[in-house]
A = this chain, B = another copy of it.
Amino acid sequence: MAEYLDAQHMLSAEAARCRSAIRTGQHAGPTAGLAPGCVQANLMILPQALADEFLLFCQRNPKPCPLLAVTRPGQTDVPALGADIDIRSDIPRYRVWRNGELIAEPLGLHEFWRDDLVSFLIGCSFSFEEALLADGLEIRHISQGCNVPMYRSTIPTTGTGRLSGPLVVSMRPFCAADTIRAIQITSRFPAVHGAPVHLGDPALIGIADLGQPDYGDPVPLREGDIPVFWACGVTPQSIIQHVRPEFSITHAPGHMLITDLSNSRLAML
């Protein structure tokens, strides 16, 4: 028990240290590789008028929108994810949207904050990628030093009144044996997208050309590779932007919230 407490304490301390560096402007870049072992989260902030519906959308679409925490309107702390979190300052870079148009990419939100804003913290594939790497699998876009390729598929999400649209998927290629292992490993992490949604022929989910992702960078396939597709946390951003809400805030791509949660404690077994 003491050892577990020590490990959790070390994780939390490192997460808090990273958040402090971000809050004070010492770190303003992407968060990949920071605080290894800690869960990182996507951010979606919406006015309460749309937040209730978005919560329902997340409930209906847990694979692209695995919720780690939701705040009350106006709440700026997120105690479930870390004792000292201030959602207005603890992400290195934000994107602020008005009527679906990007109006700012600030380092903090104090000038944009409103008392009706609800924050959604959504699981991120960094957690399962850490588990894949720990098992010895190669994640090709990490080897290549680029972003994961993402595609708007023809797989529909389960819509609500205003919120509907296609699932965005991320693609990671693996040989057959590693595909099987990757399915086993990611199945253990339903809180961070879980098992893949498709593998093999991209055309079956409406992807005409793997070389032309809608987001991120292309990753070429090697001989014997199988493309494996996971539900992607970009899905809610893609769907929200389609609605063009009067106001919304997201994290800038790759600039996540570092939480005190342990990746390994997200595993369901």
> Which residues does A use to contact B, with CB under 8 Å?
176-177, 179-180, 183-184, 187, 195-201, 204, 224, 226, 269
The dominant DSSP class at the A interface is: mixed
| Bound: A197/B180 CA distance, A | 8
| Bound: A198/B177 CA distance, A | 6
Copy number in this complex?
2
Residues in B neighbouring A177, C-beta threshold 8 A = 197-198
| Bound: A196/B201 CA distance, A | 19
Residues in B neighbouring A180, C-beta threshold 8 A = 183, 195-199
| Bound: A201/B179 CA distance, A | 13
| Bound: A195/B180 CA distance, A | 8
Q: Once the chains bind, are A176 and B199 in contact (CB under 8 Å)?
A: yes
Q: Once the chains bind, are A198 and B176 in contact (CB under 8 Å)?
A: yes
Using CB atoms, name the residue of chain B closest to A179. B199
Best-buried of A180, A187, A195 by chain B (most CB within 10 Å): A180
Q: Once the chains bind, are A176 and B200 in contact (CB under 8 Å)?
A: yes
Using CB atoms, name the residue of chain B closest to A198. B176
Residues in B neighbouring A198, C-beta threshold 8 A = 176-177, 180
Q: Once the chains bind, are A184 and B179 in contact (CB under 8 Å)?
A: no
| Bound: A230/B8 CA distance, A | 39
Residues in B neighbouring A176, C-beta threshold 8 A = 198-201, 204
Using CB atoms, name the residue of chain B closest to A155. B177
Using CB atoms, name the residue of chain B closest to A223. B204
Residues in B neighbouring A200, C-beta threshold 8 A = 176, 179, 200, 226
Partner of A226, one of B184, B199, B269: B199
Which 9 pairs between the two chains have the least Cβ-Cβ distance?
A: A183-B183, A176-B198, A184-B187, A176-B199, A200-B226, A176-B200, A204-B224, A180-B195, A180-B196
